[in-house]
Every structure is written in structure tokens, then in C-alpha cells.
A = this chain, B = another copy of it.
Amino acid sequence: MESFDRRAGELLSDDDRVGLLRQMLLMRAVEERGNALYKQGKIPGSFYDGRGQEAVSVGATWALSGADPVCSPLIRDLGAHLVKGTDLTQIFQHYMGRENALSHGREGNVHFGDKGVGVVGMVSMLPDMMVVATGLAMAYRMRAEQRCALTFFGDGATSRGDWHEAMNWAGLDRLPVIFLMECNQLAYSTPSARQFARDPIERAAAYGVHATTVDGNDVEAVFVAAHDARERALAGDGPTLIEAQTFRMHGHGAHDDARYVDPGLIAEWAARDPIDRYSARLTERGLDVTGLAEDVAAEVAEAVAVALTAPMPDPATATEGVFCTSAPAGEQLGRGAERWSGFAAMAQRLPSAAAA
């Protein structure tokens, strides 16, 4: 693995660091509450979380500019939605199948998007959205825009043909897209060793795709890898495959007790919990992060309280919206939150650009 520490030191401010921790805490708190709501029967269907993998989606999305879309976060990547700025209350309403602005009850789980902040919701067929992200990148290249697209997928998803079509296409056209492979060592019950003989990262170069492996439980390392991939993309140097090594700490979904996973492995990875590690690191660094968890808990509690008062969708609307009836005016994907302090710093240096 490359050394990310030094680069992180150069790139991240203390505000960034606190922000990264906060978003990871938020992701965990939302998902813990989600699991509880599921068990209380308030979330229909099923519930999936990314416990232990918070550093991946939070770290990577932190590196995006407001105009860089995520297409798409997957079931372990709630952090991408949060970093981009999707409203918490809406997320809970969505989870519970209540009327909400994200999916109007048409979708559940992490299958939401928020076009306003530039997040395209996932489809279940893995990894279809890699191809769509490649298409976004193709459009940016065609319009000579300084933007790139970020897409997530698991180790298991690399076995499907669409993985290949996206890798090949992006490599061929040197497109500004970041492929983030979340190697949590499992695909449902199937270990990576039954998914591929050799780590897909080894194929990247032979697609014309730059590749890098990071500790997926180190949020700064993930951030740096995504940051560098974005720079490369914007410089016209093509796509990057980032492999984030991590571990799925819960079952595949709330219904799955994951008894097929070696408890020793879970204990080992628990000791590397991305949130605990990062809290300790920031404390060591002299940052006060003691109040964050409480803040976050309050934020979640409030969002849930409001969400619980939201009505269910009106059944009369069930068949509406299959087709779009008026042409979208201009681009549909809006700007998400811009978290990395580097963007603000650049904007200060370029006041006219900031005004635009």
C-alpha cells in the first residue's frame, strides 16, 4: 500500500478531520437507529447497513467537489449520501416507506438518490451503476467539464460482466471516473476466495485503469486515494480503481445473523474499527471530539421524531411518474455539499470562480 499519511497531512485541515469523524458517527448512528426501527416493525422489507465500513464512503465522498456526482452509493455506503448532504429526516421517511422527497415511497433501503445534491440512487443489479457512472464521465469529457463521477461496488460485484464493460470502456476513453471497490471480503455468505482466483485490482492496469489499494478502515487513507484519483481524472489521466480493504461487521442484512463468519475474524476487525481508531487519533492530535457523538445522536433523534409523524404515501399516487411528462430543463443533477477544505481554499484564491 502507498503511504497516505504524509499526503493526508498536506491535504486535510483539522476541520476536515472533525468533519470526517462526525460523518462516520452519523452514518453509524443512522444505521443503528435503522436497525432498531426495522426490529420494531417500522421499517418494512429489510434493512442493510455498512457497519465497520463507514470510512470508505465518508472518506471517498469527502474528496468530491459539489459538482461531482456519486453514482451510486451501495448498501454499505450511506456515508456518501450524508457527506453529499441529503436530509436526514427524508432518509428516515424513505426507510420507513413514508411519503418522502427522495423516492416518494417507491423505494426502500439505501436505494434512494437525491438528485439535488448529485447522488443517483443505486439499482440492485450489481454492478450496473458502474456503467452509468462511466456514462456520466463520458458526458463530462464530451463537454470538457472539470468533473468526475464516483461509483461504489463490492468485491462480489466484480464477477459480473458489467464490471468488465465499465472498466474497459473507461480505460479505453480515459474517462474521469473513480471506481471504488469495497473489499469487505464477503458477498452475502460467499467469501472473496469463491468469487475470484486473483484480486481484481491486478487487472486494472491491463484495462488502462490506474489502481491503488488502501486500508478501508482508515478514513484519511481513503480520502487521499479518492482525492488523487479525482486529480488524475480532472487532469485527463483517466479512471482509477481504488480497492478499500475492509470487513463487513454485520450480516448481509438485518435478517442475517452471519453465523457463517469466523468470530475470530470479526474480533480482529472490531479492533480496527474505523470510528474508534479515528477518534483516538484525533484525540491524540489534541482535537476535542468528545461532544460529537452526542450531537449526532441528537440530530438523529430529531430526524426520527419528525419522520415518525410523516404520513404514508397516498395509494392513489402509486401509478404516477412511470414516465417523465415534461423535459427536464438542463442538467438534473445538482450540487452537493462541498466538504473538503481544499475547495474553500481554492475558492478563496479564485474569488471570481467562487462567485459563479
Contacts and interface: CB of A to CB of B under 8 A. Distances in A.
Q: Assembly of this chain: how many copies?
A: 2
Contact of A172 (B164, B168, B195, B199): B195
A198 B205 contact: yes
Contacts of A207: 196-198, 203
A344 interface: no
A283 interface: no
A165 B196 CA distance: 10
A162 interface: yes
Interface string A278-315: 00000000000000000000000000000000000000
A195 B199 CA distance: 24
A171 interface: yes
Contacts of A197: 168, 171-172, 174, 207-208
A56 to B, nearest CB: 23
A194 interface: yes
A320 interface: no
A163 interface: yes
A197 B206 CA distance: 8
Q: Which of A160, A196, A197, A199 has the most CB of B within 10 A?
A: A197
Contacts of A160: 161, 164-165
Nearest to A193: B172
Interface string A151-168: 000000001111111001
A202 interface: yes
Nearest to A163: B164
A45 interface: no
A9 interface: no
Contacts of A194: 172
A200 interface: yes
User: Shortest 10 CB-CB distances between A and B: which pairs?
Assistant: A161-B161, A197-B208, A164-B164, A202-B206, A203-B206, A171-B197, A203-B203, A172-B197, A198-B206, A161-B165
Interface string A53-74: 0000000000000000000000
